[in-house]
Each structure stands twice: as structure tokens, then as C-alpha cells.
Amino acid sequence: MGESQRFQLGTIGALGLSVVSSVSIVICNKALISTLGFTFATTLTSWHLLVTFCSLHVALWMKLFEHKPFDARAVMGFGILNGISIGLLNLSLGFNSVGFYQMTKLAIIPCTVLLETLFFRKQFSRSIQFSLTILLLGVGIATVTDLQLNALGSFLSLLAVLTTCVAQIMTNTIQKKFKVSSTQLLYQSCPYQALTLFVIGPFLDGLLTNQNVFAFNYTPQVLFFIVLSCLISVSVNFSTFLVIGKTSPVTYQVLGHLKTCLVLTFGYVLLRDPFSWRNILGILVAVIGMVLYSYYCTLENQQKASEASAQISQAKEAESDPLLTVENGSGMLGDGAAKAPVWNSNKDLHA
């Protein structure tokens, strides 16, 4: 099996693990929050990250992965930023209507595309932009109901979108820049994320729910679902870093909207949640957008792979045939002037 095939299988596995674990934790947390009344989402997330770190520490002790320290300031800044983005998303939900919060989540994809285009010179083809537009339209139809605006809620949503986009872009760029795996990055950043949310979590949850997390009645049933949620979160956090590292922040957001559609479908089928033709239409349109996005991404990756193999074969031919090198311009011309090699600025500047 070739390296590209192994990479594709690894990517498919990461996507599948992310979908299964995320849908599972949503169902678990829905039972914990809606049925059992444990509404302290930010504090619960800090426990998720603490359990994830402990699990990875055990894995490191068992030598399942190698610890690779790198820039400590980058890790600290990344971990704190991730924790802040989670807190801001929870605040956005608390100070806005559900419909406006869904619009906030939809805005993450175009914001990510804009940031990557401006600061990383990454180009998105018209086909990719079209498929993302179809996807966002479908998810909007299925999830956005009311759009009640207020100044504080809008400001918090803007901060939530910006911090989430930057954090997810950093997840991808740090892994590539420092050549660390998703597991190594998650292991080193988890303590900072957990500490950030552990400090601000009780305050934010108290602000949003008017309840004290430490005064809650922790029955055996509540404790069971908390432990189950924390265990599933290990897979959620690991697959999140894995997917972003193997693909891109935009692809991860597309996957997130697939999870939203699956959660809506499972809620209707298993829990008999209210469902309308608008939800069905939105999910169908979103699925069409996801299929188009996957198709165009696969097509573009194949084109890049064929171009790269063609360049490698041309380089090998040039090395084996000196006359070909002279004809291509790297040799000396008859009049004694050196001909500079051709440099394609577009190809070298853009990924």
C-alpha cells in the first residue's frame, strides 16, 4: 500500500471517528443537560479536557506516542486561545437566540476562508466556494429559526467567530510548522485549555444559569453521564486535532455541519423531536453541498498529485539528460550570457 493510500485511509478514519464520537457526546450531553438538569457546559468542557490530558499521559507512559516538546509560548498561547474560544461560544449561545447562535456557527466557514486567503495566500476555487455556499444555505434552512439581535450578543458572537477561526487555523499550521502529530499537540495544549476553562467555567456557568456548579445535587445517574461524557470527549478532542491536521480548518467545519444534520436526524428518529419539512429540505440541501465539496476537493487533490508527479519525472529526466537541462535554460548560451531559469511566481507562492 502506497503512502498516499495510507494517508487517505487515515483521513477517512479520522473523519469517521470524529462523526461517531461527536454525535455520541451530543446525545450523552443532551440527556445530561436537558433531562438531568446539569446545565454547566463550560465547566463540563474543562473536565473533558482534564480527562483527555490524563488519558494521553497514560498513553505516553505506555509509550503509545512520543513526547516532542517545542515552542512553549506557542503552545501556551494556542491552549489559552482555544479555551477562550469555547467560553465565548457558550456566552454567544447564552446572550443570543438559538437562531442567531446557529448563524454564528455558519459564519465560521466564510471567516476561515477569508483569513486563510488574506494571511496565508490560500486559494479556494470557484467550485469549492459554490459547494460551501450550498452547504451553508442548507444548514441555515434546517437550523436557523429566529434572528433576535442585541448589541452585547452580537459582539460576543463576533469574538467567538474570530477566536474559533484563528484557533482552528493554528491547529493546522502548528502541526505542519513544528512537525508534531495531533496527539503531541493535544497533549501539550490540553493543560492550558483545561486550566483556562476551569477558572472561567464556574463564573460563566453561574452567569448564564444563575446556579452554582459546586452546589448541584450530584446523583449517581448524573455522575454516570458526566463520566461517560468525559470518556467520549477523549475521542472527540483527539479526532478534532487529527481531522484539522490531516485536512484543513474549512473541512473540519464542513464535517461539523454534517454532525449537525445527523444530530437533527437522530433526534427525530430516536427521541421524536419536533421536525418539519423545512428541516428535511435544509438537510437535503446541506448534504448536496457536502457531496459537492467532497467531490471538488478530491478532484483538486488528484490534479495536484498528478502535477507533482509530472514535475518529479521532469526533474529526473533533466538530471539524466544534460542536453535537456541546457535546452530548458539552465546552461550557457552560445554568446556567453547565462540564461536564468524560469520561475513561476503563481506556482511557487500558492499552495
Q: According to the model, what pLDDT value does residue 243 have?
A: 86
| Closest to 256 measured CA to CA, from 298, 307, 290 | 290
Q: According to the model, what pLDDT value does residue 97 have?
A: 77
Which structural domain, as residue segments, surrounds residue 113? 24-124+147-248
Q: According to the model, what pLDDT value does residue 3 have?
A: 64
* For residues 180-185, average pLDDT: 91
User: Tell me: the pLDDT tens digits for 187-202?
Assistant: 999 999 999 999 999 9
- More confidently predicted of 326 and 253: 253
Residue 254 has pLDDT above 70, yes or no: yes
Mean pLDDT over all residues of the chain? 83
Total domains present in the chain: 1
Residue 159 has pLDDT above 90, yes or no: yes
| CA atoms 113, 114, 119, 121: torsion sign | positive
Residue 147 has pLDDT above 80, yes or no: no
CB 7 within 8 Å of CB 247: no
Q: According to the model, what pLDDT value does residue 320 have?
A: 60
317 pLDDT band (50/70/90 cuts)? low
Tell me if 138 is assigned to some domain. Answer: no
Q: According to the model, what pLDDT value does residue 330 have?
A: 44
* For residues 18-24, average pLDDT: 87
Q: What element of type H or E holds 233? A: helix 220-246
User: Tell me: the pLDDT tens digits for 224-235?
Assistant: 999 999 999 999
Tell me if 164 is assigned to some domain. Answer: yes
Q: According to the model, what pLDDT value does residue 343 have?
A: 41
Radius of gyration of the chain (CA): 24
Q: According to the model, what pLDDT value does residue 8 have?
A: 74
Q: How far apart (Å, rounded) are the C-alpha atoms in residues 339 and 332?
A: 7
Tell me if 115 is assigned to some domain. Answer: yes
DSSP 23-36: HHHHHHHHIIIIIT
Q: How far apart (Å, rounded) are the C-alpha atoms in residues 163 and 108?
A: 10
- More confidently predicted of 325 and 40: 40
User: Tell me: the pLDDT tens digits for 25-59?
Assistant: 888 988 898 889 999 999 999 999 999 999 999 99
Tell me if 194 is assigned to some domain. Answer: yes
Q: According to the model, what pLDDT value does residue 271 have?
A: 61
Tell me if 267 is assigned to some domain. Answer: no
Tell me if 344 is assigned to some domain. Answer: no
Measured from the Cβ of residue 32, the count of other Cβ atoms closer than 10 Å reads: 23
Tell me if 53 is assigned to some domain. Answer: yes
Residue 79 has pLDDT above 90, yes or no: yes
H-state helical runs in 31-150: 41-61, 72-95, 98-106, 108-120, 126-143
Tell me if 313 is assigned to some domain. Answer: no
pTM score, two decimals?
0.76
Locus of grid cell 477566536:
163
